[in-house]
Amino acid sequence: MPILVRLAWRNIWRNRRRTWLTLAAIAFGAGLLVFNIGLQMGSYAMTIDNTVRIFYGHLQVQRAGYLDAPKMRTAVARVRELADRIGRVPGVAAAAPRAYGFALASSATRSYGIQVVGVAPRREPGVSNIPGLVRRGRYLSGDHAMEAVVGRRLARNLHLDVGGELTLLGTGRDGSVAAVAVPVAGIFETGSAEVDRGFVEIPLGTFQEVFSMDGAGHAVVVRGRGVAELGNLERRVRAALPPGEDLVVLTWDRLLPGMKELIDLDFASSWFFYAALVVVITFSIMNTFLMSVLERTREFGLLLALGMRPRRIGAMVLLEALVLTLLGLCLGECLGVAVNAWFYVHGFSIPGMEELAAHFNMPSAIRPRFTPFTLGSGPAAVFAAAMLSALYPALRARRLRPLEALKAA
C-alpha cells in the first residue's frame, strides 16, 4: 500500500469520535438522498401508471396531426387490424382500438356537449380501468350492442339512470348526420371530473356504423408493463407500424402534457431540499478537515523541515477526505438501499390511501424505484461537494512554511 494511503488511513482514525460523527453525517445524508429520490421516482411512476390506466394508456398510435387538430377524417384505416398487429409486439400488455367523436348528448330534459368514445368491449379492460369502475349497471356487452355507459357526473347532469334513454347527435366522418338513441347500460366513476363529466362510451362497431367510419378509428391505445420500460416499448411499437400509413406513436407525456409539467415542477422544487442537505454535509466535512489541519500545523511544519514537499502534504489531506467520504458513502448507500428494499417489499402508504385506491381500482402503496439515477445521483452530489470542501484545508496545508508552522500553538 503506498505510504500516503497508509498515512491517510491512520490520520483519519486519530480522533475516532470525530471521524465516526463525520461518517454518520455523510452516511445519513447519502442514505436519505437515496431513499427520498427512489421513493419520489416510485411515486411519479405510480401516479403516471394510475392516470394512464384510467383512459389514455402508456402509448397511443394515431394519424399524424390528430392530437393537435382532432378531426373525424384524420382517422386510422382498419384500426382493428392495426390493434392486432401492435398487440403482438413484445412488451405490449394490451392494445385496443378506439374511435372518438363529439356529439350533443340529450335526455328527456337536458342536453350537453360531450365526447363519444367507441371502444372494443372485450379489449378495453386491458388498457382502461373504466370497465372495472362501473358503479351501477354493467359495462358494454358486445361490439355491436346498442347501449352506452356514462360517467357519474354526466348522468347526474342529464338526470339519467341505468335503463334511461340517451340520444346522441353529431356529425359522421362523411359529413352526414350521426344520430342514435341508446339505453344506458351502466354508470362509471373514475374520480376524474373531466372523464366522469365529459365521456360516453359506446361499442366500437356501433360507433363506426353511426358515424360512418367504414372500419376506421382514431387511435390504438397501448398499455405496457410499466413506465420504466416505456422507451424500449415506444421503439418496438414504432418499428411494427405498417409503412406508408402516416402514423405516429405518442407517449403519455404528449397525451397528458399538464401532468408532465406538474411532475417536472415538483421534481425541480425537491432539488432545493436535496441541495440544502448536501450543503449541510459539505460544511460538516469541511469543518472536520479544517480542524484536523489546524491541530496538526506543527506536525506539518516538522514534516516540511524534514524535507517533505508541500504538495504531498496537500495530497495527503485530500486523500484523507477521499477515504473518509467514500467510506461514508458506502455506509449511506447500504442504508438507503436497505430502507428502499424494505419499502419495496412492504410498500409505502399514506394514511387513507388504501381506502381511496381500493375505491378507484388502483394500487394502494408506493414502491421505490431502483435505477442508476435513484441509487447514484445523491451519493455523486455528496462526493463532489465533499471533495470541493476538502480543497480549502488541503490548500491551507500546502501553503504552510516550516518555520511558521513549527511556531504555531
Residue 200 banded pLDDT, cuts 50, 70, 90:
very high
* pLDDT reading at 398 higher than 80: no
Closest listed residue to residue 384, CA positions, set 322, 336, 293, 330: 322
- Average pLDDT of the residues in 16-29: 87
Q: How far apart are CA 403 and CA 185, in angstroms?
A: 95
Tens-digit pLDDT profile for residues 3-12: 778 878 888 8
Residue 137 is predicted with a pLDDT of 92
Q: pLDDT (tens digit, 9 = 90+) per residue, 324-363?
A: 889 999 999 999 999 989 988 887 777 666 666 665 566 6
Please report which confidence band the pLDDT of residue 258 belongs to, taking 50, 70 and 90 as the band edges.
confident
Q: pLDDT tens digits, residue range 106-125?
A: 888 888 899 999 999 999 99
Give the pLDDT confidence score for residue 253 in this predicted structure: 87
State what percent of residues in the chain have pLDDT above 90: 33
HEC string of the chain?
Answer: CCHHHHHHHHHHCCCHHHHHHHHHHHHHHHHHHHHHHHHHHHHHHHHHHHHHHHHHCCEEEEECCCCCCCCCCCCECCHHHHHHHHHCCCCCCEEEEEEEEEEEEECCCCEEEEEEEEECCCCHHHHCCHHHHEEEECCCCCCCCCCEEEEHHHHHHHCCCCCCEEEEEEECCCCCEEEEEEEEEEEECCCCHHHHHHEEEEEHHHHHHHCCCCCCECEEEEECCCHHHHHHHHHHHHHHCCCCCCEEEEEHHHHCHHHHHHHHHHHHHHHHHHHHHHHHHHHHHHHHHHHHHHHCHHHHHHHHHCCCCHHHHHHHHHHHHHHHHHHHHHHHHHHHHHHHHHHHHHCECCCCHHHHHHHCCCCCCECCCCCHHHHHHHHHHHHHHHHHHCHHHHHHHHCCCHHHHHHCC
pLDDT band for 86, please (50, 70, 90 cuts). Answer: very high
399 pLDDT exceeds 70?
A: yes
> What is the pLDDT averaged over residues 16-45?
88
Q: What is the pLDDT of residue 218?
A: 94
Name beta bridge partners: 180: 168
State the average pLDDT for the chain: 86
User: pTM of this prediction?
Assistant: 0.75
| Structure confidence at residue 21 (pLDDT) | 86
Q: Report the pLDDT averaged over residues 192-218.
A: 90
Q: Is the pLDDT of residue 95 over 90?
A: yes
Where residue 63 falls among pLDDT bands split at 50, 70, 90?
Answer: very high
The CB density around residue 356, as the number of other CB atoms within 10 Å, is 12
pLDDT digits (tens, 9 = 90+) for 129-168: 889 889 899 999 989 999 999 999 999 999 989 999 999 9
Per-residue pLDDT, 62: 94
Confidence at residue 225, expressed as pLDDT on a 0 to 100 scale: 84
What pLDDT, on the 0 to 100 scale, is given for residue 264? 86
Q: What is the pLDDT of residue 204?
A: 94
**What's the pLDDT score for residue 117?**
94
The yes-or-no verdict on residue 284 having pLDDT over 90 is no
The pLDDT confidence band at residue 236, using thresholds 50, 70 and 90, is very high
pLDDT, residue 176, reads 87
Q: Which residue has the cell 470542501?
A: 389
Residue ranges of domains in the chain:
1-52+260-406, 57-255
pLDDT digits (tens, 9 = 90+) for 239-256: 999 888 889 999 988 888
